[in-house]
Every structure is written in structure tokens, then in C-alpha cells.
Chains A and B, each alone.
Chain A
Amino acid sequence: MGKISVTMVVNGDKVGPMEVSEYTSMLDFLHEYLNLTGTKLGCGIGVCRACEVVVERDDGSLEVVRSCINNVGRFIDKKVTTVEGHARRNADGEIEQLAPIQQAFLEHFSFQCGWCTPGFVNAAMVLIDRLKREPVAAEDLEATISEALQHHICRCTGYVRYFRAVKDVIESTPGLVKSEG
């Protein structure tokens, strides 16, 4: 099996260079090489979106990428954030403050088993990042959330509590919804 050398930034930490098998998926790289298991395997074929991670584009904007169907090579020299990387932590690694979307998912009881939560957290983070640049009209907000999260699969709570939590965060964050007039 061939090897490739991998470097990237994951959750703010430089990773690599590391030699890994050339066919390693990003999900396996996170799990087996970095021991970051917060990103979940759901289907392994890019359908359920439990495995989504956040990648920073060159212009600083964020996108979600499915880690189960993308080779680790795609992430070389990228800045990647996984579900472990959104909360603010102190020097000892203890959580000091959650991202607003994480807090909202907690308060809405959005998840039960929690396996799909990392994908929803990451997709919602990217949606919020997009709305900072491209605010949405209030009447389009529900459709915008539905479009952003439409592929994610949840088997416990039936989506309702995720969607309403995202809506709450967007509505309560200044600048994400276009002001009337």
C-alpha cells in the first residue's frame, strides 16, 4: 500500500507531517490517527452527513465536507474544525463556553442518542457563517434552514428540535436576518 504525507490544522492545532496509507478517508484519519472520534460514521457513503467537518476556504469562509467519502489528501494544508473544536476551552482543555449553536441544541433537547449531532453542529455553524455575509430575509429563513440541513439524518428526535434551535440562534444573532425595509 502506498503512503502519502499529510499536514493540516485540526481544531487550531497543526497536525503532521504524518505518513498514512494513500486510501485513507478523512474520517479514518481523524479516528485512527488523531484519535478524534467526535466525528461520526453513519453510512460511510456520504448520505447521512453525520461525518461532516468544517473546512475553511481560502477566502476565510467555511464549508462542510463529508469526511467519510473524502480522502485525507483533500484536506492537506487545510484548516479543519471538527465537533471537538467549536467550544472555547481553557489551558487545561476544559470547556469554558459552547458555540451558540451547541448551547441551543442543548437547551432545545435537540438530540437524544447524539450520534448525528456533530453533523448538525457543523452544518449549522457553516450556515451561520454564510448568513453573516449573506443575511436572509425573515420570510425565507425556514426555507434556508431546511435547505442547509435537508440531507442530515436523525433517527431519534425527528429533526424538529434541531431546526427550531437553529432558527432561534439565527433570529437572536444580530445581522443574520435582513432587517425589514
Chain B
Amino acid sequence: MEGFRPDRRQFIKLCTVAGITVFAAPALWQLSRAGQKAADVKMPGWRGEGPDPAFRTDGLAKVTGHKIYGRDYRARDMPGWPQNQHYALVLRCNRVERQFTGFDWSQIPADAQPYEKITAESLAEKGLKLPPFYGDDMLLPQGGSPHYYGHAAAMLLFDDFDKYATAKQALQFNEQVIRFGDETPPVRRDPYAAWRIIRVEGEGGPTGEDRYSPLQDGIFFPQYRNRQVEWPTEANQAGNVSERGIYYANQIRSEVERQAAVGNWHLVRGDYRTQIVEPMMMEPEAANVWLDGDRKTLHLVLTTQSPQDFHEKAAHLISQSELADRIENFVVHSAFIGGGFGGKDHTIFPYYGLMAGLFGRGPVRLANNRFEQFQTGLKRHPFHMKNTLAVDKQTGKFQALVSEMQADGGGRANFSASVAMVGASAIQSIYYFPRNDIASTANQSMNVDSGSMRGYGTLQTMNAMEMMVNQAAHELGIDPIELRLRNASETGWRNTQGAVPQVRVRYREMLERAGQHPMWKERAHRKQMFEERNPNYFFGTGFAIATKDFGTGSAAPSAAVQIDENGRLSLSIGFIEMGTGTQTSQAMLLEPLLGRPADECHLAVVDAWQALQQFQTESPYTMSQEHQDKMSTNPLWTPVVAMASSASMSAYFQSHPVVIAAQILFKHGLLPAARSLWQRDALDPAELVWRDGALHLPDPEMPPLPLAKLAAEAHRAGQVTGVMTHGFNRWAWSDADFELDGEKSTWEIDGLALRRGGQGGPGGRVVAGEYEVQKRSAVRYPKTALNNAMVTYYAPCAALVEVAVNRGTGAVEIQGLQNYLDCGRPIVRALVEGQIEGGIAMGVGHALYEYLPPLGEGAGNGTWNLNRYQVALAKDVAVWKQQHEILPPESDNDPPKGIAEVCAVPIVAALSEAIFQATGRRFNDTPVTPEILRRALNPEV
């Protein structure tokens, strides 16, 4: 059997975590026994001739049904695995108000008996516990009451498909198999987190020093009493951070009331609620796990957005269990995922797959069907906001924002704390506020847990702001775009946290473009004309804009660019392909710097980075400046070693170390080779141009140098042929000094390793042993105080939409749609356009259709699927009429921005306003379903 052996070259050692050595296997499609040729999915011609690639690097595989997704692989596809696939089924509680008393195993058909029943007691026996990030009770112990709807109680393992399918048929909606006893009070816990953002501008206005702000003064936290947040009440202008904060918060609130009372300020005040939303990524989660007992090796095929995090946590989990001496190695088989939208980021699902594998007598496959995915998958947090926007009646200038927001994180800890923080910091949208008091709480509930779904809190809060702005414009008699122009923040102005955005803001330009669009300028006439022609419909036009922060405040991307003797370029990155085209766009980044795109782009690489020898210590969010300063003197220390993938992160953050690696490869590998080949001691890089894959000098005497020739010379002369970089970004990039080839250089990275010569692994994969770490001589990390800034990178997007509302049914039909986006410099335009169009569909669903009720009627009861949960279809998104405009980049040096989330945002409030303009009915809550609208329009029916 061609099984795993640690010495096999195709398995690459990544790192050792808690005594377990983690190996990366080659991309699955390269080794698959599925009977399809690897050549099938190589992409001859993907680059094409034009400025953009002809198609996606993964396109051929996807359009021909090749096995590439984690869910596709069965045991028989896996080299070295036993042929017989086992299957796991999870039994879950669909109620929470009673004690769980055990199981009625007689419900399992006689011919479909599992060989293993895993319960909480089984896990406890082996000392298997969830990583603390997820809370406790992975399986509910007998005698307890479920913490939330959908809480898992047992896992059953079957040794063939028919038994599994038969048992699943019998058990999935079975009310008898899990037994419940006495009524119990609901499980309640303290909120996951609470945040407060208070700012009052100082004498110097938007760009001057603040009187008080989180960035300047720091942040403070509440007490929890009776599961509720209690903010400090002591107010003192000269006191500590909380006393001063409360002083200014009180000032803001009393000023709002006073100015409104005397008639100076107009207030828009209301409750704004968003619903629980299912990410509905098309591939439900799956895992296939095999414990090869003979070789003490655990193989894992997963569908996660955050593989690095899983492997690290899983290794710790096992090392602290009774199984520690049974497992020495992890082999990680990387695969593509069929959509994520945050629903596969730090999800608990892979841990259930892991447990199934640990108890399995063969490779075990755990795969959610859609009912199970609805029942257990991470959701978008529902928010309930109580907001007040104060506007000066004379000038139309925004004077204050007061918001109290509650986010429901569900029953299990996930990213609720940070979603509540990001939502709070985003509610300002594109506007400048001289004073704000924003309080945000992430609450525990008995709903299915919510996570980092697309928008990350901002879709919820920014749309509330846009609804308020539209209402203010209407009530003050100011054109909505004009009101936005009066209040749009400018480059260099402070946000609600007191931080200054790090990218140039182009809100004004976007607003002015939208203001000139015929759909906007002629909206009154168009409404009149449409309603005359279509008497059964109301017609309305709505506009909204949003600016989505991107970044986490602790981005830590890595990259390796290497070239072989024949000039083939390979790129390795830590990010995975969620469908956004990361592989294609990252490969394209090399072209302007090295003459051609990467021939190979390896994703989800977790192995290579050990060459950097970096280590981390404390949380990057909470470490002190003193700790950072002290640790920075160690040239191998970094605040964060690795990061998870998310869709708004690759274009800006992952691109950064790729570009720098390519620049270093050029400067210290190809440029010396060019000097040698052209026999010139000095070459000005600014004079050199890449054309047709060759380096050209503006000197007709000098023959162009094809990349292959340069590569051969770099290898021959022992120049740099591979560069590995690691960056750290806390709302600004760190930079560090390195001495390379006798020359001191400063790069915006904090870790560097170089290869000279070297062969590389299969397909140009990085072999860490070929790299030598380059210790930096000095490093400058962004100050830890920037953690208080919360976010500073933004990409704006605006939506202008026309709707027709059926007077009888309440159905909303989009008649026209114009979207605007500033994505910086797009890497691959068609991919950005796909994001815009996809974001609109998801935003339309949020605005008009998608809805999961809370608690017992909600997804956690296990009966939800697409027959009840309506997502936007082609007919709902004006598929033949949609238009969009991508703002041209201001220069070739504009960085690309993270845009995958913002595209889904402004359409929500734009639709809400269009419905108001059509019907005169204003809705602060989402979704506005046809049924809600029908009732509002026809209360008598």
C-alpha cells in the first residue's frame, strides 16, 4: 500500500504542534485515484492574450465536474487509504426546554445498526474536549439540558453507505430517538462581549486632536449582572478612561435632547432590526478523516476556510487527550471549497469530523445534508439597534450619532465578540460625526450560533445608517445624495473611533457620479411614466452607499515566490480558494513584476512557512506596547504567525507579501542575472520593461532576456531563486530592515527567508529546507494602540435601484440597478465584476426574502431547507438589466482593496428606500418580504 510515510517526499512537513507533526499532502486532484488525469485540470491557455486572464485557473476542473472539493473525496479516491468508506451521523436536539435523559436506540432499524455510538461520556472517557474558542459540551451530557437548538447529543458510525443512509432516513426527523425528561430553565450565560465607542471632536475639528476617542484614550468595558451589561456610571471629565468616557457620553446624549428641544437639530430615531440569515454556501460542510493506527497518522480532508487554525487547535486537542500517544502525525489534504461566505470560517464542524475519525474503524465521512447545514451552520448575526441621528436643520450637517445595538451570537461562542465590535465601528458608514456614543453587545441565546458571515456586522449596521440618512433627507427636504455630499467624510478625517482611514476615500466622486445618473436625475418623471403605464404597480427609486472596512487588525499573510532553472514561476500562499478567484488573481500579481503570471499557485499552504522560524506569544489584540517592544528585539518573533482566509482579505492583505516576494526575487535574483547576461554593472530598474515574457532594455543593441534565460543564470550564479515573506498588518504594515547581498534594504514585511539554487518540490512546491531565514536587523510594528482604532481600511460601494411594487401582492421587482464600486486597482476585472453581481444577489436576498425565525421555529429545529428559506433567484436581481461602474484607479500604484463583502451591503438600504419612495411605507427592519409589504399595502385584506 502506498501509504503515508514521514520520509515520503510528496508529504511535506509543516510544523510540530503539541508534539504532533503536521504534514501537507499534495493537492488532492494531483494524486487522486478517482480515475481522472491530473492533466485534466491543468490550465493550458488560462492566461490568454489580453490584459485579463482568459479564464480562471480552476475553471476547467469546475466546469467539467472534476473532483476538487473537500466534499467530493471518498476513501477510494485517497492514495493509501483503505477502500471501504465509513459514514457518521450526528443526532441533534430540536428542543431546549427539557432535560436530555438518553436515547431510544430501538429507533435504529435492525439492518442499519451503527458499530459505534459516540456520546459525551465517550468523549470524556478519552479526555477529548473542544478547543476553548467554541465553548464546552461538544456532545450534550446526559442529564443536562440543551444549550441551544441543534445541540449535538451523539454520533453514530456505520461501516457502509446503505446502513448509514437507512439509519439517517429513520433518525433525522425522528422525535423519539433522543429522550427528554423534566422541564428545565433555559441555559443562560453572560454576553460574549460588549463595546463602547465614544468620541467627541476637539477644537481642530475632523483632523485635529479629539477631546475623547477610543484611539486616543483607550477603551473600557462593562460589568455583567444578571446576564446583562452594566456600563460604569461614574462620570468625571478629569477621571480615568471610563469616567471620562461616560462623562462625554452623557454630554452627547443631553446635547442631543437639548438641541432637539430648542429646534436646532432634527432627530431621526428608531429601532432597526435585522434577521437571522443562513450563508447558504452551495457546498454543505463535510469531512473525511482516517486514523491510520499502524502509522499513528491522522489524515484529514476538510471543507474549512480556516485550515491552519483547525490543525493547530486539533493538535492541541489530541495532545491533551488520552489519544495523545496514538497519534504522531497529521496529514492535511487540501481541497477547494464550494463557497464559504464566512460560514466555513472557524466553524465547529471539522471537530465533529475529527471525533468521528478518532472513533472510526476506517476512514469516516461526515457530510451535512442541507437540513443539517441549516440546523448547525454558522449564521449571520441578527442585530437590534436603537439609533438616533441628529442633523443640524440649517446646514444639514450631522451632529451626533447615538446607538445601542444588540447582536445575537447564538448558543455557542464564535466570532460574536468581534462582529459586535466591527458592526459598532461600521455604523458611521461614509459619514463624519463630530460626536458619537455607540454601545454594542454580543449576546448569548439559544439560537444556532452566528459567526463571521459576509458583512461581519457591517451589513446590519451600515444599512440602518443609510435608512436613517434617507429618512433625514426626506424629512428635511434635502436631496438624499446632496445630504450625503454634505456629510461624507474626507481623506484624513477621523472616524468614530478617532482613527484616520489608511486609504484615500472617494465617496464624493462616487456620490457625484450617482447623482448624474438618469435613474436619479429623472426619478420623478420615471415614476410618473411607469405608474401611468402600469397602474397596478407603485414605482420608486432608492440610493444607498456603504464603505466596508476590510482587515482584522492582525493580518499576517505569508507568501513564497520561486523560479526554477527553466523559468517556471511558482507561488505559494496561505489563503484558500473559496471561489473568489484567489488562485487566479494571486498568480496574476507576478506578471508585471516578473514578466509572467505564476505557472503554479499553491493555496492553503501551511507547511512552507516553518522556514521563517517565526513564533508568536500573546494575542495581538491585547498585548501591551511594552510586550511588543520587548519581543520585537527577537528577529524571529511576530505578533501573529498565520491567519484565516476570508473573501475580503486576499486582494489587499494576501497580495502584499506576494508582491514584496516578487520584488525581492527580481532585485536579488533576476536583476543580477540581467547584469551578468547584458554585461552591465549598473542597471536602472526603472528603465527595464517586461514584454512578451522577456526583460527589455531601451537599447536596441541589448537583446531581450527571456525569463527562462534569466532564471538559468540566477540558478547558475547562486543568486536568489526563491523568496518567502511574512507581513503583519495592524491597520498599517510593519516594516523591517534586512541586509541582503551586502545591501541594506527596508521592506514592509517582518519575516524573510531566501532560497539560492534549489529544486523545489513537486509542481514547484516549496521545500522549506531549501530556504534560509534572513534575520531582520530592526523592525517597526504598528503601535498596539491601533487596536483601539478597530478598523481603518475601507472600500466604498453604492447602489441605485428602481423598483416596481405590485399593489396587490406586495412583490418587489427590480426595474433598474446601477452599482458603483471603488476597488482600488482591480487585479482581474472579471472577478471583481462577479463579486459585484454576486454581492447584489445576496443583498437582495437579505433585503427582501431571507428569513429564519429565532428559537424553536428556527433553523435549529432541523426542518429548514430551501423550500422554506428563499434566496434571491435570477428573476429577483434584474439579471438582464444590471449595470455597474468600477471607479478607475487613480494610479497604477493604487493597491487593490478588499471588496467581497461591501458589494452585498448598499443594495439593502437602497431597496428599502425605493420601496418607501414607491409606496410611502418606510421599513426599518429586514427583510421586507412580499407578505409584509402586502399586509402593509392592504391592511384590510
Contacts and interface: CB of A to CB of B under 8 A. Distances in A.
Interface of A: 1, 20-21, 23-24, 28, 31-32, 35-45, 47-48, 50, 82-84, 86-87, 92-95, 98, 102, 105-109, 111-118, 121, 142, 146, 149-161, 163
Interface string B73-85: 1101100000001
B579 A159 contact: no
Given A94-B37, A113-B338, A159-B877, A107 B55 contact: yes
A160 B55 CA distance: 16
Given A47-B867, A155-B339, A156-B579, A150 B873 contact: yes
Among B112, B831, B865, B874, chain A packs the most CB atoms within 10 A around the CB of B874
Contact of A47 (B34, B579, B866): B866
B64 A98 contact: yes
B874 A161 contact: no
B873 A155 contact: no
A151 B876 CA distance: 11
B776 interface: no
Given A115-B283, A161-B837, A45 B58 contact: no
A106 B60 contact: yes
A37 B834 CA distance: 25
Nearest to B844: A158
A112 B336 CA distance: 11
A116 B837 contact: no
A118 B69 CA distance: 13
Interface of B: 34-37, 39-40, 54-56, 58-67, 69, 71-74, 76-77, 85, 109, 111-112, 161-162, 165-166, 169, 280-284, 336-341, 369-371, 578-581, 830-831, 833-835, 837-842, 865-867, 871-875, 877, 879-880, 882
Nearest to A28: B165
Among B34, B74, B842, B880, chain A packs the most CB atoms within 10 A around the CB of B880
Nearest to B112: A1
Contact of B165 (A24, A92, A116): A24
Given A1-B166, A155-B282, A159-B841, A93 B880 contact: no
B799 to A, nearest CB: 13
Contacts of B112: 1
Given A43-B370, A114-B61, A155-B280, 15 more contacts: A31-B74, A32-B161, A44-B865, A45-B865, A48-B282, A48-B866, A84-B64, A84-B65, A86-B64, A106-B56, A113-B579, A115-B69, A115-B579, A159-B877, A160-B882
B834 A157 contact: yes
Contact of A37 (B67, B281, B336, B578): B67
Contact of B64 (A20, A83, A111): A83
Contacts of A20: 162
A151 B36 CA distance: 31
A92 B161 contact: no
Given A35-B77, A50-B282, A161-B834, A112 B55 contact: no
A155 B875 contact: no
Contacts of B111: 1
B63 A121 contact: yes
Contacts of B835: 112
7 contacts: A38-B64, A42-B282, A93-B36, A93-B40, A109-B830, A109-B834, A112-B339
A155 to B, nearest CB: 6
B894 to A, nearest CB: 22
Nearest to B454: A155
A40 B63 contact: no
A150 B62 CA distance: 21
A43 to B, nearest CB: 4
A165 B620 CA distance: 46
Contacts of A36: 65
A17 to B, nearest CB: 17
Nearest to A152: B874
Contact of A155 (B65, B580, B842): B842
A43 B440 CA distance: 35
A117 B109 CA distance: 37
A149 B875 CA distance: 10
Contact of B40 (A94, A116, A117, A149): A94
A24 B29 CA distance: 27
A112 B832 CA distance: 11
Contacts of A149: 874
A111 B62 contact: yes
Contacts of A154: 282, 838, 841
A42 B371 CA distance: 10
A28 B866 contact: no
Given A106-B59, A114-B579, A158-B839, A35 B341 contact: no
A23 B581 CA distance: 39
Nearest to A101: B63
Contacts of B65: 36-39, 82-84, 118
B837 A114 contact: no
A23 B37 contact: no
Given A116-B282, A156-B838, A40 B338 contact: yes
A63 B21 CA distance: 51
Contacts of A23: 165-166, 169
Contacts of A121: 63
Contacts of B872: 158
Contacts of B880: 142, 146, 163
A18 B266 CA distance: 75
A157 B341 CA distance: 12
A114 B873 contact: no
B838 A158 contact: yes
A112 B841 contact: no
Given A115-B282, A155-B280, A163-B879, A92 B66 contact: no
Contacts of A24: 162, 165
A93 to B, nearest CB: 6
Contacts of A105: 59, 63
Contacts of A45: 370, 865-867
Contacts of B62: 111, 114, 117
Given A40-B338, A112-B580, A112-B838, A107 B54 contact: yes
Contacts of A21: 162, 165-166
Given A37-B72, A109-B55, A109-B834, A158 B64 contact: no
A28 B164 CA distance: 12
A96 B37 CA distance: 12
A118 B65 CA distance: 7
A35 B76 contact: yes
A22 B580 CA distance: 40
Nearest to A48: B866
Contacts of A155: 280-282, 339, 341, 838, 841-842, 871
Given A38-B65, A95-B40, A121-B63, A159 B879 contact: yes
A158 B814 CA distance: 14
A162 to B, nearest CB: 8
A1 B866 contact: no
Nearest to A89: B40
B562 to A, nearest CB: 28
A108 B873 CA distance: 19
Contacts of A106: 54-56, 59-60, 63
Contacts of B71: 37, 41
Nearest to B884: A160
Q: Closest 5 interchain pairs by CB? A: A38-B65, A113-B579, A114-B62, A115-B282, A115-B338
A53 to B, nearest CB: 11
A117 B63 contact: yes
A179 to B, nearest CB: 22
A83 to B, nearest CB: 4
A45 B604 CA distance: 33
A112 B338 CA distance: 9
Nearest to B842: A155
A47 B338 CA distance: 18
A20 B161 CA distance: 10
Given A156-B339, A156-B834, A151 B877 contact: no
A44 B284 CA distance: 11
